[in-house]
Amino acid sequence: MLTYIYLIAITAEGMSGALAAGRRNMDIFGVSMIAFITALGGGTVRDILLGNYPIGWTQHPAYIYLTIGAGLITVLIARVMHHLHRLFLVLDAMGLVAFTIIGCNVAIGLGYSPTVVVMAGITTGIFGGILRDIFCNRTPMVLRKELYACVSLLVALLYLGLREFGINHDLNQVISFSIGLMIRLAAIRWSWRLPVFSYMPGRWAE
Amino acid sequence: MLTYIYLIAITAEGMSGALAAGRRNMDIFGVSMIAFITALGGGTVRDILLGNYPIGWTQHPAYIYLTIGAGLITVLIARVMHHLHRLFLVLDAMGLVAFTIIGCNVAIGLGYSPTVVVMAGITTGIFGGILRDIFCNRTPMVLRKELYACVSLLVALLYLGLREFGINHDLNQVISFSIGLMIRLAAIRWSWRLPVFSYMPGRWAE
Amino acid sequence: MLTYIYLIAITAEGMSGALAAGRRNMDIFGVSMIAFITALGGGTVRDILLGNYPIGWTQHPAYIYLTIGAGLITVLIARVMHHLHRLFLVLDAMGLVAFTIIGCNVAIGLGYSPTVVVMAGITTGIFGGILRDIFCNRTPMVLRKELYACVSLLVALLYLGLREFGINHDLNQVISFSIGLMIRLAAIRWSWRLPVFSYMPGRWAE
């Protein structure tokens, strides 16, 4: 199941990357590249940090074509994208949660400690979006919007916690995925946010 | 031959990095660092993605001194740089094409699949410029200007295609390099561009 | 001794990251992440470049909690931070010098050549601050302010030089650390700066 959700998720992330590239008036090569980085960048950063070689997409060319294809299709259907606004938010939420669980699984498989497993889950979940924003020269949105990165943290903690309690692996994935998705959708619906830290520029550090 | 072109290319890329640093009023340490990153960053990212350790420049200190030296010399001759405008564009084009072929060779040597070989070529060709722009806090230019990153893609495809046809390795390098260089120079001369995707900010994604 | 200074340094760097995040109105998750990246990003980049796996913090969860904790505490005491301005500059200077020496030691232990050892020292010293600025979407400050990155270079050269002369390892660390710290504090006190390279945008490179 996670594999299908993963494929849907990288498609949705690729499309979100393409839209961000469009805001910066990139050419279709730039659109393809940002789509690829947004969709597969989180897993790539995770693999580099954990030393997990060869990196995932180098063994699955299909993922590369899927994300680039998603980016190029977005260019064609950009005019109607805002009608798909809600569908998109749901797909993106599914991606966030699925990426997180997959990231945790990779780190667990490599024998890392629980703290690093959680970091790996979060990295997989949110770094694609962060790289997208850095390449498009804007402050990463996932660190400022309503509950997003934090959902990734909660899912990773829940998943590890249930695992510690000896819950069946598949059941754990279903539970963690469902609860994570609900939290994210609720956060969108009711605009849940973490407290924001606003620091006025003083003299000393600018 | 490719080695000499490579040395010329990293020198030219180092100089372009220095100029970008100068636009941000960096000190000469910053200039040296941006020169180094622009010239050797593409190969570094490729090596990290492919797990190709030790990374190239760690085994060739001369490359480090060459690129930093190129950056510092640029500071001294900055006033006359615009007279060298055309020479510079040619050197940069040579670098783009040579980097791409070298990147393909590295991935082939590691046994990666054709798709990944093409990605490695493009990464080597364009990522130095992308890192330069990220470190100088601007939207990557190579994703917006006239045919640039796309030339890297075409060269990689041509090189792999001729290789598949069993063309002699050296001959293939000469052909791919020459055709790639011509395409890039023609693109500059006649302002060839890929279609640009401009997406107006709607409500849903900031 | 270096270990204690290291712990103090990553705490101070985590706090500086949190303040930078606060200037961008990030939520407390973003603050935690920027604190972590500022404190441990330099060593992470070094380890990736040198192929030094597993990466340091994955084996020391305590470092992760320490830096994130430092970031969150900064949110609580932000109002009084400017009173601690001077203390902060000293802690940051200690971090810069300690990180540099630690980075050199790692590269020496892996058998890299002197040039790469110096690069590893500088990377460890300054890349946390550079990543902080990239994630917060501003031009890296360490490449523009008064003598900063350059101190890292001087410390690395001094440390390697004394090592070459056969000075006792511990003594070398004490000497290099003390001299480096003095240079940095003197640079702040008397606003020492490297020459700045200002390049006016011409026609040719946008």
**Amino acid A204: pLDDT:** 44
Q: Do B34 and C153 touch (CB under 8 A)?
A: no
Instruction: In whole angstroms, give the CA distance from residue A179 to residue A185.
Output: 10
Tokens at A43, concatenated: 């897993």
Whether the predicted pLDDT of A144 surpasses 70: no
- Which residues of A are less than 8 Å from B116 in CB distance? 58, 61
Interface contacts (A, C; CB < 8 Å): 94
Q: Do C85 and A48 touch (CB under 8 A)?
A: no
Hey, is A22 helix, strand or coil?
Answer: helix
Assess if residue C197 is contained within a domain: no
Answer for the pair B147, B139: CB distance below 8 angstroms, yes or no: no
| Total count of domains within chain C | 1
Q: pLDDT exceeding 70 applies to what percent of chain B?
A: 95
- C12: Cβ contacts below 8 Å, ≥ 6 apart: C70, C88, C91, C92, C94, C95
Average pLDDT, chain C: 88
Q: Using one digit for the tens of pLDDT, what is the confidence trace for A27-65?
A: 888 899 999 999 999 999 999 999 999 998 999 999 999
> What pLDDT band is residue A105 in, cutting at 50, 70 and 90?
very high
- Which residues of B are less than 8 Å from C55 in CB distance? none
Domain residues for A2?
Answer: 1-190
> What pLDDT band is residue A145 in, cutting at 50, 70 and 90?
low
Instruction: In whole angstroms, give the CA distance from residue B9 to residue B35.
Output: 12
Instruction: In whole angstroms, give the CA distance from residue C173 to residue C154.
Output: 14
Assess if residue C28 is contained within a domain: yes
The whole-angstrom distance between C12's CA and the closest CA on chain B is 23
Give the number of residues written for chain C. Answer: 206
- A67: Cβ contacts below 8 Å, ≥ 6 apart: A10, A11, A13, A14, A17, A35, A36, A38, A39, A40
> What pLDDT band is residue A205 in, cutting at 50, 70 and 90?
very low
**Amino acid C68: pLDDT:** 95
Q: Using one digit for the tens of pLDDT, what is the confidence trace for B155-190?
A: 999 999 999 998 888 899 999 999 999 999 988 888
Instruction: In whole angstroms, give the CA distance from residue A154 to residue A160.
Output: 10
Assess if residue B145 is contained within a domain: yes
Answer for the pair B134, C134: CB distance below 8 angstroms, yes or no: yes
**Amino acid B201: pLDDT:** 58
Assess if residue B41 is contained within a domain: yes
Q: How many CB atoms lie within 10 A of CB C60?
A: 14
Residues of B with CB under 8 A from a CB of A: 48-51, 112-113, 115-116, 119, 130, 134, 137-140, 143-144, 149-150, 153, 193-206
Assess if residue A28 is contained within a domain: yes
Give buried/exposed letters for C31-42 (b at 16+ CB in 10 A, else e): bbbbbbbbbbbb
Dihedral, C115, C120, C121, C122 alpha carbons, nearest 10: 90
Assess if residue A202 is contained within a domain: no
Residue A26 region, left (φ>0) first, then alpha (ψ -120 to 50), else beta? beta
Which residue of chain B is at minimal alpha-carbon distance from C153? B29
Instruction: In whole angstroms, give the CA distance from residue B189 to residue C131.
Output: 37
The pLDDT tens digits along chain B (206 residues) read 778 888 988 998 899 899 888 888 888 888 999 999 999 999 999 999 999 999 989 999 999 999 999 999 998 888 777 777 788 888 888 889 999 999 999 999 999 999 999 999 999 999 998 899 888 887 777 666 667 888 999 999 999 999 999 888 889 999 999 999 999 998 888 887 777 877 775 544 44
CA B202 to chain centre: 34
Q: Do A16 and B149 touch (CB under 8 A)?
A: no
Helices and strands in chain B: count of H runs, count of E runs: 7, 0
Q: How far, in Å, are B1, B159, B192 from residue B171 at the CA level?
A: 11, 10, 28
Instruction: In whole angstroms, give the CA distance from residue C54 to residue C59.
Output: 7
**Amino acid C101: pLDDT:** 94
Beta bridge partners of C196: B27
Q: Do A28 and B137 touch (CB under 8 A)?
A: no
Residue C111 region, left (φ>0) first, then alpha (ψ -120 to 50), else beta? left
**Amino acid C77: pLDDT:** 87
ipTM: 0.88
Q: Report mean pLDDT in 10-residue bins for chain C, 206 residues.
A: 85 89 87 93 95 93 94 87 79 89 95 95 92 84 74 94 91 92 88 78 47
Assess if residue A198 is contained within a domain: no
Instruction: In whole angstroms, give the CA distance from residue B147 to residue A198.
Output: 42
Q: Do A29 and B201 touch (CB under 8 A)?
A: no
The whole-angstrom distance between A168's CA and the closest CA on chain C is 27
Q: How far, in Å, are A60, A144, B20, C24, C195 from residue A141 at the CA level?
A: 29, 5, 27, 11, 36
Give buried/exposed letters for A132-156 (b at 16+ CB in 10 A, else e): bbbbbeebbbbbbbbbbbbbbbbbb
Phi then psi for A62, rounded to 5 degrees? Answer: -60, -35
Assess if residue B88 is contained within a domain: yes
Instruction: In whole angstroms, give the CA distance from residue B127 to residue B184.
Output: 17
Q: How many CB atoms lie within 10 A of CB C61?
A: 16
Q: pLDDT exceeding 70 applies to what percent of chain A?
A: 95
